[in-house]
């Protein structure tokens, strides 16, 4: 009986770790896609756009949740004079999270 509980506990821990890993990968992918989307709006192309997308991914390590990413992109869009509302930006983040989850799960 104890072995069964231990097995279940290990399976649960393994699934939790796997799910956390997938979520981390999906969030990083979403942030890269968001960075590329925002880069286009602020006029960055090619290597500059790719570098900006990396900055957006890195911005997610400042605090838990999405607010650090939102603030980074919001500030950069504002500085560039891009006409994007908070609602549009948050909607894009949700849309790209769904796309990122599909991409991560298909790999």
Cβ 60 vs Cβ 68: under 8 Å: yes
Domain ranges across the chain? 25-106
Q: What is the structure's pLDDT at 3?
A: 65
Confidence of residue 102 (pLDDT cuts 50, 70, 90): very high
Cα separation, 30 vs 100, in Å, equals 5
Integer angstrom CA distances of residue 17 from 92, 94, 101:
27, 23, 16
CATH class of segment(s) 25-106: mainly alpha
- What are 4-61's pLDDT values in tens digits? 878 888 877 777 777 888 889 999 999 999 999 999 999 999 999 999 999 999 999 8
- What are 87-100's pLDDT values in tens digits? 999 999 999 999 99
- What are 61-78's pLDDT values in tens digits? 888 889 999 999 999 999
């Amino acid at each position: 009986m104890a072995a069964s509980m231990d097995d279940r506990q290990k399976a649960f821990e393994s699934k939790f770790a796997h799910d956390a890993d997938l979520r981390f990968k999906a969030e990083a992918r979403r942030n890269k896609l968001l960075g590329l989307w925002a880069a286009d709006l602020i006029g960055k192309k090619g290597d500059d756009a790719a570098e900006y997308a990396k900055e957006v991914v890195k911005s997610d390590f400042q605090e838990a949740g999405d607010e650090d990413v939102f603030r980074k992109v919001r500030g950069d869009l504002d500085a560039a004079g891009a006409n994007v509302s908070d609602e549009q930006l948050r909607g894009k983040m949700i849309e790209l999270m769904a796309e990122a989850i599909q991409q991560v799960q298909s790999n």
